[in-house]
């Protein structure tokens, strides 16, 4: 006997409570195997695939692309046991065999897979599809109908479509408005550090296949300083301040116009070489879009390097609910006074 199984949005990470639907890989009426990808979702950290925990037939897809859901929300219903009647295995085919009268009555509840895919690509919701007057046989909605609807909505305006990750980032950054913010800017002479990097970069490339930059030094410095100043590694919980033992440093990275923040966990327990290795792995994963939720969870303090865009000073937004973010500017040659003499030094803000 067939049974309905509810597939829910799983917990994708310790601090992740919601996700946005990116792509739905299956249509209603299609078979799905256990562990086969049902859909892809995005959080403010990474994209993740949601596999089906059971084998069966998709009875109902309850979500649409760009819809934001909470962990535990039902996203689909699967019939978990095979049905003897082959025709009932394919809900779409069965609907196509209904009488013209039934077809007209059910117009709003059925759209062909091709139309659904086209609508998804055009960011047209099911609710909007139901409003479109179909011109196809039996008044069904066609791809041309959807195309005309999209054109009518766009008019003469130009839109830039946000990726699900950017939508999630926008939502979380809005929360940062509730955090009172103070900024401290200091110029630091890192001439000796830059000399060290130039001396050691070939060694790290040959021995660890890693490009030595200023970033691992910043991570190490943040780890040491934060251990001495526990309030920087805290979060506000209602009327209390939560001091966090582990120092997990998030590294903001700009990848394909999205900002990803993979995390170096327990940074104070790592030596410098370990930090370089972990950074190398995280950068590679970010560029290839293979970061997992675990790679980006539980960050307690964030580093953002806006100097990569040749900007000297910036005012980064705190990543809620963290208490602190460190921004590093571009390294510039400047006149600097040492022992009452003017020298040209490498300076960073």
Same domain, 315 and 240: yes
pLDDT of 225 > 50? The answer is yes
Contact call for residues 81 and 56 (beta carbons, < 8 A): yes
Burial 310-328 (b: 16+ CB within 10 A, else e): eebebebbbbbbbbbbbbb
Asked whether residue 70 falls in the same domain as residue 192, the answer is no
pLDDT (tens digit per residue) in 115-132: 887 887 777 888 788 888
Structure tokens belonging to residue 261: 């923040």
pLDDT at 154: 63
pLDDT surpasses 60 at 65: yes
Query: Residues 242, 304: one domain?
Result: yes
Among 133, 154, 175, the domain-final residue is 154
Position 55 in a domain: yes
Burial of residue 268 (CB within 10 Å: 0-12, 13-18, 19+) is middle
Closest CA to 296 of 60, 47, 5: 47
Per-residue pLDDT band at 290 (split at 50, 70, 90):
confident
pLDDT for residue 16 is more than 80: no
Instruction: Judge if 106 and 193 occupy the same domain.
Output: no
CATH for 218: 3.30.559.10
Q: Are 297 and 263 in contact (CB under 8 A)?
A: yes
> Does residue 142 sit in the same domain as residue 200?
no
**Which of 107-111, 169-173, 303-307 shows the lowest per-residue confidence on average (mean pLDDT)?**
107-111
**Residue 329 token pair:** 């500017």
Look at residue 112 and tell me whether its pLDDT is greater than 50.
Answer: yes
Q: Which tokens sit at 13? A: 């990470």
Average pLDDT over residues 311-332: 91
Domain that holds residue 209: 183-348
Residue 252 lies in a domain: yes
Q: Evaluate if residue 342 carries a pLDDT over 60.
A: yes
pLDDT of residue 76: 93
Residues 120 and 246 in one domain: no
Query: What's the predicted TM-score (pTM) here?
Result: 0.62
Regarding whether 96 and 196 lie in a shared domain, the answer is: no
Q: What is the pLDDT of residue 327?
A: 95
**Average confidence score pLDDT of the chain:** 84
Residue 50 has pLDDT above 70, yes or no: yes
What mean pLDDT is predicted for residues 174-202? 90
The predicted-structure confidence for 269-288, as pLDDT tens digits, reads as follows 999 999 999 999 999 998 88
> For the chain, what's the residue count?
349
Range of weakest confidence among 53-62, 115-124, 215-224: 115-124
Which of 242, 284, 287, 282 minimizes the C-alpha distance to 265?
282
Residue 170 maps to a domain: no
- CATH number, domain containing residue 69: 2.40.50.100
């Amino acid at each position: 006997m067939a049974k309905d199984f509810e597939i829910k949005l799983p917990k994708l990470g310790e601090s992740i409570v919601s996700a946005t639907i990116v792509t739905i890989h299956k249509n209603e009426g299609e078979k799905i195997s256990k562990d086969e990808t049902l859909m892809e979702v995005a959080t403010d950290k990474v994209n993740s695939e949601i596999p089906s925990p059971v084998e069966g037939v998709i009875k109902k897809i309850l979500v649409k692309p760009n819809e934001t859901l909470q962990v535990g929300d039902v996203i689909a219903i699967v019939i978990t046991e095979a049905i003897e009647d082959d025709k009932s295995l394919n809900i779409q085919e069965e609907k196509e065999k209904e009488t013209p009268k039934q077809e007209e009555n059910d117009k709003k509840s059925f759209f062909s897979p091709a139309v659904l895919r086209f609508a998804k690509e055009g960011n047209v919701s099911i609710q909007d599809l139901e409003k479109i007057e179909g011109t196809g046989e039996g008044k069904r909605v066609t791809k041309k109908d959807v195309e005309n609807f999209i054109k009518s909505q766009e008019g003469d305006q130009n839109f830039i479509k946000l990726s699900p990750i950017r939508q999630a980032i926008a939502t979380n950054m809005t929360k940062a408005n509730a955090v009172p913010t103070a900024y401290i800017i200091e110029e630091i002479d890192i001439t000796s550090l830059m000399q060290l990097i130039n001396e050691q970069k070939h060694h790290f490339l040959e021995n660890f296949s890693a490009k030595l930059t200023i970033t691992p030094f910043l991570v190490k410095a943040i780890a040491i300083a934060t251990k001495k100043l526990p309030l920087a590694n805290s979060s506000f919980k209602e009327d209390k301040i939560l001091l966090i033992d582990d120092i997990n440093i998030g590294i903001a990275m700009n990848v394909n116009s999205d900002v990803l923040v993979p995390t170096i966990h327990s940074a104070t327990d790592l030596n410098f070489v370990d930090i370089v290795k972990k950074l190398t792995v995280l950068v590679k994963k970010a560029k290839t879009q293979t970061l997992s939720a675990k790679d980006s969870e539980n960050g307690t303090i964030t580093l953002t390097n806006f100097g990569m865009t040749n900007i000297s000073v910036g005012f980064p937004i705190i990543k809620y609910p963290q208490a602190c973010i460190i921004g590093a500017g571009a390294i510039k040659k400047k006149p600097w006074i040492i022992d009452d003499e003017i020298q040209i030094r490498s300076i960073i803000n």
